[in-house]
Amino acid sequence: MTTAVPRTPPAVLPGPNDTCWCGSGAKYKKCHRGADAVEARKKGPEAARKGVRPGLVSPRRDVPLHIPRPDYAATGRPGRRGNASEINTPDVIARMRRACKAAAEVLQEVAAHVRPGITTDELDAITHEAYIKRGGYPSTLNYHNFPKSLCTSVNEVVCHGIPDSRALEDGDIVNLDITIYLDGVHGDCSATYFVGNVDAESQRLVKVTRECLDVGIAAVKPGRPISDIGRAIEDHATKHGMSVVRAYCGHGIGETFHTSLQIPHYYEPESNTVMEPGMIFTVEPMINLGGWGSRTWDDGWTAVTSDGSRSAQFEHTLLVNEKGAEILTVS
């Protein structure tokens, strides 16, 4: 007896490496996974939504002259990373604790304003003033000529979204990426928030992404390779039928915004740098409902998923200690 090939996705979808439900014989991740993720969103109240489109970007906001600035503030060109040790001194660690605490406070302050109808440019203005109120400089402002004080990544935007005149809509998800330059160091964190009533699949995406951050942090152990972090994150995302963005990663941070240390969020066996007490870096997984591919808009910054599926991100700055990781970006 011949079994009919299903024409619609089953209630329980296969894993990324399982055979696709359509009967093609291909792996699910290479066949229908991206399309299924997009269709799942269309079944909810998001059916009428089209992809995010760029709005108008307002002029760059001024920073008072008394605020200390990083080396790229005027030119847009950060200094060379050099070969400085990734093991930070007690002085740098103490300053990082202050800067990261301030970043976490700013994130909470700005997140309280997320609602349908507010523009991402208005969120940028609130963030800008929150930095200045704490005596800090917006780390992203003019970093390689980025024009704004935070990144606002909505729906299918993976990262580096530029705040503009677009108003947030009911059902959106938005990542707020906060980095403050304070006391000569950078504190960096981000989180993804619901805007009004969000469909169940997007809620699941945000939940799993937060869990990916948690398992990544739990994998931070002195004496272990950096690759342990990506392995833990990728395993968790894959288990839930989601993918990990590969074009962007976590990074070392301190007196330099991005050091040469890189933290992949997928398993990369060549990331064999051994974690040591005194290292400070970010873990910031970007997780997609569909495939892991991404592309960049013509603005040179805004990265979006290749298949239009939604993406979420959470980020903390971590200090490696003798037992594991201390989360620095807590208020």
**Choice among 8-22, 66-80, 82-96, 300-314 with the minimum mean pLDDT:** 8-22
Q: Kindly state whether residue 163 falls inside one of the protein's structural domains.
A: yes
pLDDT at 30: 66
Share of the chain above pLDDT 90, in %: 82
DSSP letter (8 states) at residue 23: S
Give the Cα separation of 178 and 52 in Å (integer).
21
Q: Kindly state whether residue 57 falls inside one of the protein's structural domains.
A: no
Report the alpha-carbon angle 160-165-171, nearest 5. Answer: 75
Q: Kindly state whether residue 312 falls inside one of the protein's structural domains.
A: yes
Q: Kindly state whether residue 39 falls inside one of the protein's structural domains.
A: no
pLDDT at 299 over 50: yes
- Average model confidence (pLDDT) for the chain? 90
Which of 174, 165, 176, 151 has the alpha carbon at shortest distance from 122? 165
The model scores a pTM over 0.95:
no
Question: Mind listing the pLDDT tens digit for each residue in 106-153?
Answer: 999 999 999 999 999 999 999 999 999 999 999 999 999 999 999 999
Give the Cα separation of 172 and 199 in Å (integer).
9
Which of 291, 304, 284, 317 has the alpha carbon at shortest distance from 153? 304
Q: Count CB atoms within 10 A of the CB of residue 114.
A: 19
pLDDT at 24: 76
pLDDT at 46 over 80: no
pLDDT at 48: 37
pLDDT at 278 over 80: yes
pLDDT at 23: 73
**Choice among 44-48, 56-60, 127-131, 237-241 with the minimum mean pLDDT:** 44-48
Q: Kindly state whether residue 49 falls inside one of the protein's structural domains.
A: no
Number of domains making up the chain: 1
Using CA atoms, how far residue 34 sits from 277, 292, 305, in Å, is: 40, 9, 10
pLDDT at 1 over 60: no
Q: Kindly state whether residue 26 falls inside one of the protein's structural domains.
A: no
Give the Cα separation of 204 and 69 in Å (integer).
39
Residue 115 is part of a domain; what is its CATH number?
3.90.230.10
Q: Kindly state whether residue 68 falls inside one of the protein's structural domains.
A: no
The overall longest dimension of the chain from CA atoms, in Å, is 80
If pLDDT is split at 50, 70 and 90, which confidence band does 85 have? confident
If pLDDT is split at 50, 70 and 90, which confidence band does 28 have? low
Distance of CA 6 to the CA centre of its chain: 36
- 320 burial type by CB count under 10 A (0-12 exposed, 13-18 middle, 19+ buried): buried
Using CA atoms, how far residue 247 sits from 108, 258, 296, 306, 309, in Å, is: 28, 15, 11, 12, 16
Average pLDDT rounded to a whole number, residues 186-208: 98
pLDDT at 163 over 60: yes
Q: Kindly state whether residue 314 falls inside one of the protein's structural domains.
A: yes
Average pLDDT rounded to a whole number, residues 191-205: 97
Whole domain around residue 302: which residue ranges? 90-327
pLDDT at 180: 98
